[in-house]
Amino acid sequence: MSLTHLQYLESEAIYVLRETAAQFQKPALLFSGGKDSIVMAWLARKAFYPARIPFPLLHVDTGHNFPEAMTYRDEFVKEIRANLVVGLVQKSIDEGRVVEEKGPNASRNKLQTVTLLDTIEEHQFDACLGGGRRDEEKARAKERFFSHRDEFGQWDPKNQRPELWNIFNGRKHFGEHFRVFPLSNWTEMDVWQYIRQESIPLPSLYFSHQRKIINRHGQLLDAETGFVNLLEEEKAKIEEMTIRFRTVGDVTCTGAVLSTAATLDDIVAEVAAARQTERGTRADDRRSETAMEDRKKEGYF
Amino acid sequence: MDVQLNPEESSLLRFTTAGSVDDGKSTLIGRLLYDCKSIFEDQLAAVEESSKRRGDEHVNLALLTDGLRAEREQGITIDVAYRYFATPKRKFIIADTPGHVQYTRNMVTGASTADLAIILIDARQGVVEQTRRHAFLAGLLRIQQVVLAVNKMDLVDYDQKVFDSICADFMRFAADLENPVAIMPIPMSALNGDNVVDASDKMDWYSGPTLLEHLEMVKVHLGEAHVESRYPVQWVIRPMSDEHHDYRGYAGRVASGSFKVGDQVIAYPAGLTSTITGIHTFNGDCEETEPALSYSIELADEIDISRGDLLAKPENPPHVTQNLDAMICWFSEKKMKTRGRYYLRHTTREVRAVVQEVVYKVDITTLDKVAEQTEFSINDIGCIRLRLATPIFCDAYSVNRITGSFVLVDEQTNNTVAAGMITRTLDGADDSDAAGAYAI
């Protein structure tokens, strides 16, 4: 018999999702409305079918969302009959837990960490499933499937538990928790091929469309939702472009790519030919050479 | 590129690379990724930028994999890094591990999920102590395919005699490995790209495949496809909805063999027999399972089965045991001592275990067995005898990588402190076939 790489990856992810449900008291699945978290939720539905997913989806909402992503989120959650918990960054700002960044590059991306940790504490979640993949970023290349976090939510890359065969060690002390990454071994291409194979519906943002865009140092940022702080001189330079998004997250740090890819086949072909990583469009990773590792140590996804 | 389905074999190959920086391991991986277009422009630009800032003379491809701050500062790899690339024939997952003695535990970790190992040799140095250790570890973890990458052929004038002599040395040594290993020696220069992706025009005397051709063609099986059917139960699915009122499915991933609707199965530890009435997935019901895939299985009788239990077939039962011998690799700074107590995690089951005795340790330099030892330090490898509080249902690692493996967990810190491979079980009359099945 022959096994395809997608069958292998699907089965591995389902195995990890079931291990998470079995080894933890109160897991949650981090759902951003981005394609990776959509695929993860899709796999969770498969893992426990015909029962419902035995844990809620958790959306850490920066408030700076594409409206299309929010509409999609609510429909998708209903379709897969899941429960949704929302943690609001705006609430953290109102309560003075975090201070909003200022200036044209202001983003709530970094503030999410505090809201995430607060929401984890409020609901007593002891494991959060994330859609992170090892091919995304070099600090993630050494991330575990079951990633241990101390009681402050911090990641210690030098003290990670070895993972062998398919044995995952989720033992922990009270107050500690885990991040679990079922898609660790997937690449961007695998995700797109799987979406195509399964015909998973996606937010329209992933497909080619017309949008008002501002080009800031080579990054194509949205100028339609009003969440990106525009400089006076930029306001005159807004252009209508044919674009799509390779990743979908907080509007302020999600860059678009010029693209006419309108179908999943087009996108798979485009990803195959791409010469830039998808995180190349993310402003948050460009802040320093080890920006991702530094954020992860503080408790980022 | 789109990975085409290879109708004969899996379209995924997991492999590990062992060797130090001096053997050209990073250059080799960099070459594979670069020539297969798996390094992106922004990654390359970032690496060029860092290399320049650090004052490196060449673009340092190791910076692609060494992502952690401490690694970049010290210029070392401290952990297993996973890298991905694909060709039109296959998708590849590389577990890139550092090769020095103090990283034995990382090599063991990387090898545990690999189906093939690339062992690098510097053509000027030939088979050295490190080569023997890498081959020993590949055999220990039961990697059945080894590529002997004789690198830096450009520095020995692409001389066939040098290559032949290194191969003969290695074969002599490999003949003593307990588990059979298929060896494919390939002469190459990773720096110049000879025989990595493209065939070399400087070694007419070599007519075999390039490294990539071999990786694309080599036969591997994902999961264990042999007769011992094993299904560890992960989770019980009970929808308790009107539509599926009486549904009770045992969720799991097939460890080995296969199960069909109508098959008789025994559930361990209960020891009760029942019949499979349904094999379900989200995409529909199946008549038969495939190894390594995940299912939900329903049985005819209501018997008490929960997480950590095992379904097997009556004609090929597992060993049910509380006493076993195992090869272990110790991972922790905190030493293992005789009488030490740990949690043992085996498939989906967890039991308490105590170390009865150290049978022997392996001198990782000479590969000799050393008797009369009482403790293990970090990176030590050897054989120990364990007593378990409750039975596990297992096979020897030499026949089953999933039901033959376990990890030990420290009771205080909850850290994973050892990897274990079962060599034999010690109670009951049924263990004679396993006895001595794994000697080194």
Q: Is residue B54 part of a domain?
A: yes
Q: How confident is residue A142, by pLDDT bands cut at 50, 70 and 90?
A: confident
Q: Which residues of A touch B416 (CB under 8 A)?
A: 161-164, 169
Contact B147, B28 (CB under 8 A): no
The answer on A31 and A140 residing in a single domain is: yes
Q: What is the pLDDT of residue A277?
A: 60
Helix (H) or strand (E) holding A30: strand A27-30
The answer on A235 and A94 residing in a single domain is: no
Q: What is the pLDDT of residue A64?
A: 85
Q: What is the pLDDT of residue B29?
A: 86
Q: How confident is residue B224, by pLDDT bands cut at 50, 70 and 90?
A: low
Residue B172 Cα distances to B23, B121, B175, B348, B405, angstroms: 22, 16, 5, 40, 29
Torsion of CA B106, B95, A31, A115, to 10 degrees: 40
Residues 21-80 of B with CB under 8 A from A: 40-43, 46, 50, 64-70, 72, 78-80
Read off the pLDDT of each residue in A184-202 and give the average, rounded to a whole number: 93
The answer on B252 and B147 residing in a single domain is: no
The answer on B297 and B390 residing in a single domain is: no
Question: What's the total number of domains in chain B?
Answer: 3
Residues 412-431 of B with CB under 8 A from A: 414-416, 419
How many percent of chain B have pLDDT more than 70? Answer: 84
Do the Cβ atoms of A11 and B292 come within 8 Å?
yes
Q: What is the pLDDT of residue B130?
A: 85
Q: Is residue A213 part of a domain?
A: yes
Q: Which of B76, B235, B381 should be substituted to probe chain A, the one whose Cβ sees the most A Cβ atoms within 10 Å?
A: B235
The parent domain of residue A186 ranges over 5-190+290-298
The answer on B244 and B174 residing in a single domain is: no
The answer on B168 and B298 residing in a single domain is: no
Q: Is residue B126 part of a domain?
A: yes
Q: What are A204-217's pLDDT values in tens digits?
A: 999 999 999 988 88
**B264-268 and B310-312 as β-strands: parallel, antiparallel, unpaired?**
antiparallel
Q: Which residues of A touch B235 (CB under 8 A)?
A: 18, 21-22, 48
Q: Is B202 on the interface with A (CB under 8 A)?
A: no
Residue B78 Cα distances to A113, A164, B22, B71, angstroms: 27, 17, 16, 7
Which is more confident, A159 or A173?
A: A173
Q: What is the pLDDT of residue A296?
A: 55
Among A285-289, B106-110, B299-303, the least confident range: A285-289
Q: What is the pLDDT of residue B393?
A: 96
Q: How confident is residue B340, by pLDDT bands cut at 50, 70 and 90?
A: very high
Which is more confident, B307 or B83?
A: B307
Rounded to whole angstroms, the Cα distance separating A259 from A220 reads 12
- What is the ipTM for the molecules in this complex? 0.90
Contact B362, B368 (CB under 8 A): yes
Q: How confident is residue A301, by pLDDT bands cut at 50, 70 and 90?
A: low
Which is more confident, A57 or A233?
A: A57
The answer on B18 and B90 residing in a single domain is: yes
The answer on A177 and A209 residing in a single domain is: no
| DSSP class of A158 | G
Q: What are A232-247's pLDDT values in tens digits?
A: 888 888 899 999 998 8
The parent domain of residue B261 ranges over 230-312
Q: What is the CATH number of the domain that holds B343?
A: 2.40.30.10
The answer on B365 and B274 residing in a single domain is: no
The answer on B145 and B258 residing in a single domain is: no
Do the Cβ atoms of B65 and A189 come within 8 Å?
no
Q: What is the pLDDT of residue B4?
A: 43
The answer on A141 and A96 residing in a single domain is: yes
Among A123-127, A284-288, B117-121, the least confident range: A284-288
Rounded to whole angstroms, the Cα distance separating B89 from A141 reads 24
Q: How confident is residue B2, by pLDDT bands cut at 50, 70 and 90?
A: very low
Which is more confident, A166 or B22?
A: A166
The answer on B197 and B138 residing in a single domain is: yes
The answer on B405 and B267 residing in a single domain is: no
Res. A224: pLDDT tops 90: no
Rounded to whole angstroms, the Cα distance separating A164 from A169 reads 10
Q: What is the pLDDT of residue B65?
A: 59
> Considering B217, B241, B265, which residue would you say is the last residue of a domain?
B217
The answer on B343 and B304 residing in a single domain is: no
Q: Is residue A132 part of a domain?
A: yes
Q: Token match 């004789």: residue?
A: B150
Q: What is the pLDDT of residue B1?
A: 38
Q: Is residue B128 part of a domain?
A: yes
Alpha helices by DSSP H, A80-161 = 89-94, 112-123
Among A67-76, B45-54, B153-162, the least confident range: B45-54
The answer on A249 and A176 residing in a single domain is: no
DSSP string for B97-160: ---SGGGHHHHHHHHHT-SEEEEEEETTT-S-HHHHHHHHHHHHTT--EEEEEEE-GGGGTT-H
Q: What is the CATH number of the domain that holds B120?
A: 3.40.50.300
Res. A251: pLDDT tops 90: no
The answer on A167 and A251 residing in a single domain is: no
Rounded to whole angstroms, the Cα distance separating A241 from A256 reads 10
Q: What is the pLDDT of residue B439?
A: 39
Q: Is residue B7 part of a domain?
A: no
The answer on A134 and A41 residing in a single domain is: yes
The answer on B194 and B123 residing in a single domain is: yes
- B402 → closest Cβ in A48, A166, A275: A166
Q: Is residue B424 part of a domain?
A: yes
The answer on A279 and A136 residing in a single domain is: no
Among A145-159, B52-66, B285-299, the least confident range: B52-66
Give the tokens for residue A33.
């409305």
Contact B171, B183 (CB under 8 A): yes
| Cα B171 → chain centroid | 22
Res. B433: pLDDT tops 50: no
Q: What is the pLDDT of residue B430?
A: 47
Q: Is residue B1 part of a domain?
A: no
Q: Which residues of A touch B91 (CB under 8 A)?
A: 5, 187, 190
Q: Is residue A246 part of a domain?
A: yes
The answer on A151 and A64 residing in a single domain is: yes
The answer on B181 and B82 residing in a single domain is: yes
Res. B438: pLDDT tops 50: no
Read off the pLDDT of each residue in B373-395 and give the average, rounded to a whole number: 94
Q: Which of B171, B153, B142 is nearest to B397 (CA)?
A: B142
Res. B118: pLDDT tops 80: yes
The answer on A277 and A162 residing in a single domain is: no
The answer on A170 and A65 residing in a single domain is: yes
Among B17-31, B51-65, B318-332, the least confident range: B51-65
Res. A139: pLDDT tops 80: no
Which is more confident, A102 or B137?
A: B137
The answer on A280 and A250 residing in a single domain is: yes
Q: Which residues of B touch A2 (CB under 8 A)?
A: 5-11
Q: What is the pLDDT of residue A25?
A: 94
Q: What is the pLDDT of residue A88?
A: 84
Q: How confident is residue A196, by pLDDT bands cut at 50, 70 and 90?
A: very high
Contact A21, B306 (CB under 8 A): no
Q: What is the pLDDT of residue A275?
A: 61
Q: How confident is residue A298, by pLDDT bands cut at 50, 70 and 90?
A: low
Read off the pLDDT of each residue in A245-255 and give the average, rounded to a whole number: 83
Rounded to whole angstroms, the Cα distance separating B421 from B321 reads 15
Q: What is the pLDDT of residue A153?
A: 66
Average pLDDT, rounded, for chain A: 85
3-state DSSP helix/strand/coil percent for chain A, to nearest 5? Answer: 40, 15, 45
How many percent of chain A have pLDDT more than 90? Answer: 44
> Considering B295, B312, B329, which residue would you say is the last residue of a domain?
B312
Q: Which of B298, B222, B237, B286 is nearest to A44 (CA)?
A: B237
**Looking at chain B, which residue has its C-alpha nearest residue A186?**
B84
Crossing angle (nearest 10°) for helices B104-112 and B129-140: 40
Q: Which of B54, B286, B289, B416 should be substituted to probe chain A, the one whose Cβ sees the most A Cβ atoms within 10 Å?
A: B416
Q: Is residue B222 part of a domain?
A: no
**Looking at chain B, which residue has its C-alpha nearest residue A19?**
B234
Q: Is B239 on the interface with A (CB under 8 A)?
A: yes
Q: What is the pLDDT of residue B435?
A: 40
Res. B59: pLDDT tops 80: no
CA B121, B122, B125 angle in degrees (round to 5)? 105
Q: Is residue A196 part of a domain?
A: no
Res. B105: pLDDT tops 70: yes
